Structure 1
Amino acid sequence: MNKVCVIIGVGPGNGEALARRFSEGGFQVAMLARSRDYLESLVQQIPNTHAYEYDATEIDSVDSTFQAIEQKLGPVSVLLYNAGAGVFKNVEEASFDDFEANWRTNVQGLVAATKAVLPQLRQHDTASIVVTSASAATRGRANSAPFASAKAAQRSLAQSMARQLGPERIHVASVVIDGVVDLPRTREWLHDKPDDFFVKPSAVADAIWTLCHQDPSAWTFELDVRPFGEIW
């Protein structure tokens, strides 16, 4: 049986790094994102990767997408939920639509993907669901009301899932990224910062790979990762 990993939310940065890490580890990797052209460019670069156009907020397509993945690659054993929208406003400035948009991506999208993938995960002796989170999940800053509230809800959801699914040997974990991810746009924005200021996507991918291969006697639920210089 193939080892199959699904990554929801593949873009430059953590999503692409995860695709590379799990491909190197021998997985068939289904990459899901809204930009089909970008995914197809990665397929040309990364062996054993497969492109699926997908919007985490459009839940009507989730079942058909996961069925197509299973038919082509086999049952999924790892789900990496890397989708995460952010609106950074305070509670007065943010509209109801801002709050709903953040909730749809960070919470509803995770629920829909989990419901669709569970029958496949249960076909394996052990399986994993790992959610890419943020420090906003544990502390709500003044100008992050929509994002922080959605990430806090996502964290609580993941914890509930971990408690439910752990006895089935399905490891649910949340990775809190506390820092600025190294991307072309963040480098341009923070051009005066040294290399060690940024979170390396490849290092995040290594951490998530490790989570997915922990012994069930010592599972981690929440792992926070940050550069040594980050204030916390």
Structure 2
Amino acid sequence: MSTSLQRQPVAVIAGAGPGNGQAIARRFADAGYLVVLLGRNTEKAQDLAKEIPQAVGYGCDVGDAATVTAAFDRIRLDQGAIDVLVFNAGSAIFADIETITAEQFEASWRVNALGGLLCSQAVIPEMVARGAGHILFIGATASRRGGAQMAAFAPAKAAQRSLAESMARQLWSKGIHVALIIIDGIVDTPATRTYVPDRPIESLVAPDAVAHTAYELTRQDRRGWSFEVEVRPFLEKW
């Protein structure tokens, strides 16, 4: 009787840092995935990976096409086929329309929108060939509602949301689940707590809750896929 070893699934988390990225990585690692952490700073990505079982870190500037291609080629060579891509990279540049510079506007778009495109293009061919795969975007309420200080961030997140929707309409029928998680609130991290020290913890978005939502999206039955899921703390006014 012949036996075969089941391949360990691979999840790539683009934008791996404290908060959502780290929590998502841990959730997939706990589920048995080999987790690849992508960060602009190679050393930081590798250091973070050391804290998570079954995780490795790679450097990657998601807004640079050549860097993205090289990183994903290396991941496939080292770790094998990619089953899940979570695009969590973001550039939170906040400024109003009178003070925003062209460089800031482009930088925000390059990470949030172009980065999502480039990373998705790096995994779509293999997912289409298998007829299966998951691409998740971590978005923001700013994609629907631009605040006064969001002249760069809101347009970039809106572009990301439209990109995700366009991809979903094209790729669902090919077996690739594209979904968007809208974060409505301030994410609970050590950094954000210094900005809002007086806010109760219950009013902040829990990274573990975001991670749970991301993982559960990859478990959905194909006959009942979700595209857009909102995550907010129960105290958030909406």
Same fold (TM over 0.5): yes
Query: What is the rounded CA distance, in whole Å, between the counterparts of 1:89 and 1:130 in structure 2?
Result: 27
The alpha carbon displacement at 1:5 in A equals 0.5
Letter paired with 1:134:
A
Query: What is the rounded CA distance, in whole Å, between the counterparts of 2:32 and 2:182 in structure 1?
Result: 26
The alpha carbon displacement at 1:197 in A equals 1.1
* The one of 74, 84, 107 aligned to 1:78: 84
CA contact (8 A) 2:50 2:56 kept: no
Equivalent residue for 1:97?
Answer: 103
* The one of 29, 43, 57 aligned to 2:49: 43
Query: What is the rounded CA distance, in whole Å, between the counterparts of 1:17 and 1:154 in structure 2?
Result: 22
Letter paired with 2:218:
C
87-96 or 159-168, which moves further after superposition?
87-96
Query: What is the rounded CA distance, in whole Å, between the counterparts of 1:171 and 1:77 in structure 2?
Result: 11
1:122 is paired with a residue whose SS is helix
115-124 or 74-83, which moves further after superposition?
115-124
Is 2:100 the counterpart of 1:109? no
The alpha carbon displacement at 1:135 in A equals 0.5
The alpha carbon displacement at 1:218 in A equals 0.9
12-21 or 34-43, which moves further after superposition?
34-43
The alpha carbon displacement at 1:142 in A equals 1.5
Is 2:27 the counterpart of 1:27? no
The alpha carbon displacement at 1:64 in A equals 1.6
* The one of 7, 15, 19 aligned to 1:9: 15
Query: What is the rounded CA distance, in whole Å, between the counterparts of 1:42 and 1:149 in structure 2?
Result: 30
* The one of 156, 159, 162 aligned to 2:165: 159
Q: Which runs of 5 or more residues in structure 1 are unaligned? A: none
Query: What is the rounded CA distance, in whole Å, between the counterparts of 1:164 and 1:44 in structure 2?
Result: 37
* The one of 71, 90, 106 aligned to 1:65: 71
The alpha carbon displacement at 1:38 in A equals 2.1
Equivalent residue for 2:142?
Answer: 136
Equivalent residue for 1:197?
Answer: 203
1:155 is paired with a residue whose SS is helix
TM-score by length of 2: 0.94
207-216 or 187-196, which moves further after superposition?
187-196
The alpha carbon displacement at 1:41 in A equals 2.1
Equivalent residue for 2:220?
Answer: 214
194-203 or 113-122, which moves further after superposition?
113-122
The alpha carbon displacement at 1:123 in A equals 4.1
Equivalent residue for 2:61?
Answer: 55
The alpha carbon displacement at 1:80 in A equals 0.3
Letter paired with 2:63:
T
Query: What is the rounded CA distance, in whole Å, between the counterparts of 2:30 and 2:123 in structure 1?
Result: 23
Letter paired with 2:234:
F
The alpha carbon displacement at 1:45 in A equals 1.9
Q: Residue by residue, what CA displacement relative to the aligned partner does 1:147-202 show, whole Å, maximum 9, x if unpaired?
A: 10111111011000000000011010011101111111111221112120111111
Query: What is the rounded CA distance, in whole Å, between the counterparts of 1:97 and 1:44 in structure 2?
Result: 35
1:117 is paired with a residue whose SS is helix
Q: Which runs of 5 or more residues in structure 2 are unaligned? A: 1-6
CA contact (8 A) 2:83 2:134 kept: yes
Query: What is the rounded CA distance, in whole Å, between the counterparts of 1:125 and 1:196 in structure 2?
Result: 40
